[in-house]
Amino acid sequence: NAGVMQNPRHLVRRRGQEARLRCSPMKGHSHVYWYRQLPEEGLKFMVYLQKENIIDESGMPKERFSAEFPKEGPSILRIQQVVRGDSAAYFCASSPLPASDTQYFGPGTRLTVL
């Protein structure tokens, strides 16, 4: 039973480019959470999605960031016109039910903006 998968594991972008981060939840999980970890800090919640729905995006920056979880395929976190401050590790987690006790994390995508 494969765990949560994220790709790419490492992503390098120049300022102004777009970054697309993908997350495939565990089999049977339809709830996806995205978190961001700045260097030397804990993880911060960004967005919670179910299939085809954004449930809570209270942690998402107002501009340049968007997320989706289509009916088919992985969840995508998209960052447009990246800036150096976007450099961070982005983690995806999934759970089978909304009230599940445990979220299972993927290995993360490390974004570096040059």
Partner 1 sequence: AQKITQTQPGMFVQEKEAVTLDCTYDTSDQSYGLFWYKQPSSGEMIFLIYQGSYDEQNATEGRYSLNFQKARKSANLVISASQLGDSAMYFCAMREAIQGAQKLVFGQGTRLTINP
Q: Are 75 and 32 in contact (CB under 8 A)?
A: yes
**CB of 110: closest distance to partner 1 in angstroms?**
7
Tokens of 79: 């960052």
Is the Cβ of residue 74 or residue 107 nearer to partner 1 in the bound state? 107
Give the residue carrying structure tokens 């919670």: 48
List binders of partner 1 among 3-32 (CB under 8 A).
31
Q: Does residue 90 touch partner 1 according to CB under 8 A?
A: no
C-alpha to C-alpha distance for 12 and 18, rounded to whole angstroms: 10
Q: Does residue 72 touch partner 1 according to CB under 8 A?
A: no
Q: Does residue 98 touch partner 1 according to CB under 8 A?
A: yes
Alpha-carbon distance values, 49 to 25, 52, 106, 114 (Å): 11, 8, 16, 30
Q: Does residue 55 touch partner 1 according to CB under 8 A?
A: yes
Tokens of 14: 């120049």
CA 64 distance to own-chain centroid: 14
Among 13, 25, 48, 111, indicate the residue that binds partner 1 (CB under 8 A).
48
Is the Cβ of residue 46 or residue 79 nearer to partner 1 in the bound state? 46
Residues engaged in binding partner 1 (CB under 8 A): 31, 33, 35, 41-45, 48, 55-56, 58-59, 89, 91, 93, 95, 98-108, 110
